[in-house]
Amino acid sequence: MKSGGDYITEEKKKALEAELKDLIGPKRKEILDVLEYAKSLGDLSENAEYHQAREDQGKLEERIKKIEHILQTAQVVSGGGGDIIEIGSKVVVQKENTNEQRTYQIVGAEEADTVLGKVSNKSPIGEALYGKKKGDRISFETPSGTVNYKIIDVS
């Protein structure tokens, strides 16, 4: 596994498949119904409902294409559990010269959510952690300067 590839967890794959099913089925039909109704209102050049429905349809189709692309190209990983940090690994790090510890999970870019502690394998910290193990030290650049961490635990 390379640190820079596109990866998703099995959990994210299932969530994307469910979203795709909903978008292709009920959501697509809902927008088509709105378009039909808007067309029935008459003059399309000044019909705000029609233009909004067309915009919504475009966004829907774009999201469908994106999900299909992710499901076709991303590698599904179970990850984690080993000594070496990879996609799916949970990592506890301690900022140098402090007692401040943080826990991160390394995930593919599509799943990244810093609020939940899920960092992308393509982010500066994700790239710095990838391939390392417990006890290693890492450094990476942030907008406020270089940050140094010691890896406390990997699971």
Q: Which residues of the chain have pLDDT under 50?
A: 1-4
Q: pLDDT tens digits, residue range 52-76? A: 999 999 999 999 999 999 999 888 8
Cα 72–Cα 154–Cα 127 angle in degrees, nearest 5 = 55
Sheet with 90-95, edge to edge strand ranges: 118-120, 101-107, 90-95, 145-154, 137-142
Hey, where are the domains in the chain?
7-76, 79-154
* The two three-digit tokens of residue 6, written as one number: 């596109």
Q: What is the pLDDT of residue 46?
A: 82
From residue 144, give the alpha-carbon distance in Å to each of 116, 118, 139, 141: 22, 21, 13, 8
The reply to whether CATH 1.10.287.180 applies to domain 7-76 is yes
Question: Which CATH code for domain 79-154?
Answer: 3.10.50.30
